[in-house]
A = this chain, B = another copy of it.
Amino acid sequence: MNKSLIESMDINIGLIGLGYVGTGVFNLIQHQKEYISKKIGKDLKIVAVAEKNIGAKKDYLKKYKDIKFTENAYELINDENIDIIVELIGGLDPAYEFIISSLKNGKYVVTANKDLMAVRGGNIFEEAEKNNVDILFEASVGGGIPIIGPLKTSLACNNITKIVGIVNGTTNFILTKMKDASLSFEKALKMAQDLGYAEANPASDIEGKDSANKLAILASIAFNSRVHYDDVYREGIGKITSFDIQYADEIGYAIKLLAIGSEENGRINVRVHPSLIPKSHILASIKDTYNAVYFYGNYVGEIMSFGKGAGDKPTASSVVGDIISIARNYDRNHKKKIFGCTCFTSKPIMPFIQTTNKFYMLIDVIDKPGVLAKIAKVFGDYQVSIQSMIQKQIETCDNARLIFITHNTINKNLNESIEKIKKLDVVSEILNIIRVEDLEKPN
């Protein structure tokens, strides 16, 4: 084939899933077709769409008569003319089967499926490798923000030692409103639901599951070792109260749900939990539904990307970006990986209980002399070292409220000390325990 024929080649796309994101991708490709063609010298052509509820999409069927619409994804997967399968149905099954079958058929795959990549990423890459094709999944983390691509190209020479991300827009919105509009958790959640930022069942976001999936994906790439969703320690934001937000603010901290990955002496520490971070840190300025991911690399130093972490258009932007990455160098007769799997090693996951953190603790105690000594003794017994303690005024006059900030403490020791402190007769209630991240630059 001569050069001009190759360059004017159509890239035939099969789209599985015409839901919120799928429709976004469909519309983007239709609207930007000419623009993309001028830019990359190839036409992105959606030739077929599989959608199980195709009956609800009659306007699309009517408008796009040269596109095949079907309820059966395998009509796309087994179509020899299709070059790239775009999987946008989400969830584990049947998305997994669709992707594996597509790879077996020698098709490149693009997906936004974070659940699947965080749980079965290894198997999927193995299948891609076997068939000399690739799977791209930029949209699975951070919506429209380019993160995976840069990690696998521009930043690829770096040993990444730390990731700190705000990767869930729903919880960031809730925490922002709790702070800026002084809403309770329940009211902020309701507001997020009313605005369409949180689902009717918000568990996946609130409990940090969504963030844990994204962290597993990022950590696998950053540390070159497969990290599974189950490897990630996870706490949600449901326990954060207006008091925590207010007290944190008073002592110079914002509260964010962070996804944190680090490599420490060849072992991987991955965790999602609410965190007090210094108000002066750039991550504290990431508000509402925005996402941001911070990396530390041994050559590049600190690097952060910020943008919209969800929504049909930003997510479609990343999906089509992946399609473009494949299309640019697509050669039907000589398929090969673009980035491939970069997990060339296997590093153990640190047992969370053995890792260290700083803690903020909010404890109501009986207001009488000697209370602090009793609590301090228990902390001392468990090597929990206190950095600061502040007493707050509260309404019930026979109680006092104490805010402790600890130095770095082994989680196991902290847990054990808290079990003891709970049982002290001078302690009325342990209101909350939240980790503190000072986010200093790693060495």
Contact = CB atoms under 8 A, between A and B. Distances in A.
Report the interface size class on chain A. Answer: 35 or more
Contacts of A224: 38-39
A316 interface: yes
Contacts of A150: 146, 149-150, 154
A38 B223 CA distance: 13
Interface in A14-69: 28, 32, 35-36, 38-41
Given A38-B345, A224-B39, A144 B313 contact: no
Interface string A287-315: 00000000001011111111110010110
A299 B314 contact: yes
Contacts of A158: 317
A313 B299 CA distance: 5
Given A299-B144, A300-B144, A300-B308, A156 B329 contact: no
A299 B324 contact: no
A402 interface: no
Contacts of A344: 38-39
Contacts of A154: 138, 146, 149-150, 317-318, 321-322, 325
Interface string A395-418: 000000000000000000000000
Given A303-B145, A306-B306, A314-B301, A339 B328 contact: yes
Interface in A336-395: 336, 338-340, 342, 344-345
A28 B157 contact: yes
Contacts of A155: 144, 146, 317, 321
A159 interface: yes
A282 interface: yes
Nearest to A306: B304
A148 to B, nearest CB: 8
Interface in A248-306: 282, 285-286, 297, 299-306
Nearest to A325: B153
Contacts of A322: 154
Contacts of A324: 153, 156-157
Interface in A135-172: 138, 144-146, 149-150, 153-159
Interface of A: 28, 32, 35-36, 38-41, 138, 144-146, 149-150, 153-159, 224, 282, 285-286, 297, 299-308, 311, 313-314, 316-318, 320-322, 324-325, 328-329, 336, 338-340, 342, 344-345
Shortest 3 CB-CB contacts between residues of A and residues of B: A146-B154, A154-B321, A146-B150
24 contacts: A28-B157, A38-B344, A39-B156, A138-B154, A144-B299, A144-B303, A146-B153, A146-B154, A146-B303, A153-B328, A154-B321, A155-B317, A156-B324, A157-B317, A282-B285, A282-B286, A299-B313, A299-B317, A302-B308, A303-B306, A303-B308, A304-B307, A328-B339, A329-B338
